[in-house]
Structure formats: structure tokens, C-alpha cells
Amino acid sequence: MARVLRVPDEKFRDKVFKTLQENLTTMPRETGRPAPSIGELSAGFIRRCEALFGKLVPREVDGELRDKANALAAEYSAPDWVMENDRREQSGREVKIAEGVSVMERVGKLPGGLVRASAVNVRGKLRDIHLSGDFFFFPAARLVDLERALEGVDLRVDPLAERIEWFFQAYGISAPGVEPAELAKAICS
């Protein structure tokens, strides 16, 4: 699944793959047996439906119904329809892995340079965040420590800005043109 996604780079693809493995499962993993065939799944589905609705009678799908289904599929998969109610500015990518879990990448242009954040969003909290870009951050070795300090923080501007501000003060960080509040906005937007 991770191989077919259109993602910005290999690092993001690897993060998606790792998060998929952690949050999705397979029939063989859960049962210790090979996945059932389509025929076995269909037979089980039919048995369950018949228990609820009574005897089902198989029939061929006519051309008119198939044409209508294809027309609806085309209409409801068109980008204009899918994004109709999404008026947010897109400053990055987000790939939903499971309910409440997604891999995200955000890019923000700050006065101090371009900031790229990739992370896993687990029910509104940051996990496995990585910051990069063309901004200055002194001492540079502390950037990894900042990433660790952001683990588990709510993916909202105020809590992030508060944690980043605390980190900058606690460790004497100098990042010209990268204010904690602006960095938090870049990560969240």
C-alpha cells in the first residue's frame, strides 16, 4: 500500500510504511492462517445476510444498474466533489493510516528559512516528529532533542508553541527568524 501512494520523498514513504505496519493488521497476522479467498468471504457474507434478511436469490446485474453505478463512482471520486467542503489551505500532505492515525508532512516558510516537519499524528498528538529545512538552529545537535521534546504534545498551535518556547529557553537555543509560535504554526498548518 505504501508503495503506490504519491508521497513527496522516500523518507515520508518509509514513515507511512512503518505507521501502516503499527496500526493495521492482516487476517494471517490475527488468525495465524492464510487469508480467506474471495469465495469464502462471499459465502460468509451471504450466510450472515440470509440470517438477517431471509433467503437471497442471486441475479445478474443489468447494464442499466452497472452504468448508473459507474456514473456515480465517477461523480463521487472527482476531486471537485471530494474536496468541496474542504476549504483549508494545504501546506503539506497527510496520509490517513487508520481512524485517528495519519502520517503528515508540513512545510512552512518562516523569516529564518524553510521548515519541513514530518510526523505521525495519533489522535491529535505528535509522534515520531522530524524537523528539517534550511533554517539555522544553534546548537544544531539539540534539534533532535527538540523533536523528542515534542513527542506526545497536542497538535495545536498553543501547546506546541508553549513547549517549543520552553525548550528554546531551557537549552539556550538560537534560531534566527524562527520564533516558537511561528514554528508551531508551521507544524500545525
- Model pLDDT, residue 4: 63
Low-confidence ranges of the chain (pLDDT < 50): 87-90
Q: What is the pTM of this model?
A: 0.61
Q: How do beta strands 92-98 and 101-110 pair? A: antiparallel
Q: How far apart are CA 34 and CA 120, in angstroms?
A: 30
pLDDT reported for residue 145: 95
**Alpha-helix runs per DSSP H in the chain:** 10-23, 27-31, 38-53, 63-77, 79-82, 143-149, 157-170, 180-188
Cell matching residue 126: 505528535
Backbone phi and psi for residue 56, each to the nearest 5 degrees, phi listed first: -95, 145
The pLDDT assigned to 45 comes to: 93
Predicted pLDDT of residue 88:
46
CA 12 – CA 166 distance, rounded (Å): 28
Q: Please, which residues have CB within 8 angstroms of residue 179's CB and are 6 or more apart in sequence?
A: 110
pLDDT at 92 (0 to 100): 64
How far is it, in rounded angstroms, from Cα 151 to Cα 179?
19
Q: How many other C-beta atoms can be found within 10 angstroms of the C-beta atom of residue 29? A: 10
Q: Which domains does the chain have, with CATH numbers?
A: 38-87 (no CATH), 92-188 (3.30.390.50)
What whole-number percentage of the chain has pLDDT above 90? 49
Q: Residue with C-alpha cell 544544531?
A: 140
pLDDT reported for residue 130? 93
CA 75 to chain centre: 25
Q: Please tell me the predicted confidence (pLDDT) of residue 49.
A: 94
